[in-house]
Amino acid sequence: MRTEISVDRTWEARRRAPFAHNRQVRDGRTVRVRVAEPLRFLLSVANRGGDVTVPVDGVSSLVHIVESLGVPRTEIGELRVDGDAIEVLPVRRPQRYPDPRFVLDVHLGTLARRMRLLGLDTAYRNDAADAELVAQAAAEERILLTQDRGLLRRRALPAGGYVRGSRPDDQLRDVLDRFDPPLAPWTRCPACNGRLAPVPKREVEHLLEPGTRRSYDEFSRCPACGRPYWRGAHAKRLHAIVIAAKRRGDQDHA
């Protein structure tokens, strides 16, 4: 008999039970786990063929069996159970959340700044401990983004995602592809995540270098940290990031 188990991704359901796949497997036998191709990069090299036979102890749940192979619970969209076989399917994309907010681990600082550039509410500290990240994600209803699979396995974590790619450009594309968040470019401070507000030039002149004062007239400022911003020499590169992200969004909604 084939059984399909899916995940309720609402925040309230996550508070009640961080993961729904708690069905246990009887002791004294093995199960065959077939991992879908998009998730196989998370497996050990020896298991990347996708079919793995796993001994069971009668205590571990289905999700624990899959996690023991390297696939965190946040990356599992559905488990299909047919006798002693388990098929592991990825989260369907886009995985949309209402009013999505994010928190990133200490290794994703460049990605955090780029997400803020696109107007995404992105918390980040370069000294945050793992337990602090999980607590912040739960308390503030944020999606934890990381490349630490152990962090994504924590039971107290309501929502998270494994970020694919080693380059910030690739990481940003992966986040946008997975969560499809609404974008509001140039509205957040890349340094602290505060919301930017337009300000008259006279209010920030004392913070500017002489060349900047001569060359630019339109400014915004972060009320949280006080940093001024303007479309300077770096704007062309940043604008390219914004345009690429918006083009991706337009294509997805066409």
pLDDT digits (tens, 9 = 90+) for 134-152: 999 999 999 999 999 999 9
pLDDT digits (tens, 9 = 90+) for 64-111: 999 999 999 999 999 999 988 999 999 999 999 999 999 999 999 999
In the predicted model, is pLDDT for residue 207 greater than 50?
yes
Vertex 128 angle, CA 126 and 129, to 5°: 135
pLDDT at position 248: 65
* Torsion angle (degrees, nearest 10) of CA 192, 122, 145, 105: 10
Tokens of 97: 């959340």
The predicted model scores a pTM of 0.85
Share of the chain above pLDDT 90, in %: 70
pLDDT at position 5: 57
Question: Could you tell me the CA-to-CA distances from 107 to 78, 102, 152, 158, 217 in Å, in that order?
Answer: 29, 14, 14, 20, 36
What mean pLDDT value characterizes the chain? 87
Positions of E strands within 102-207: 102-104, 122-124, 143-146, 160-162, 197-199
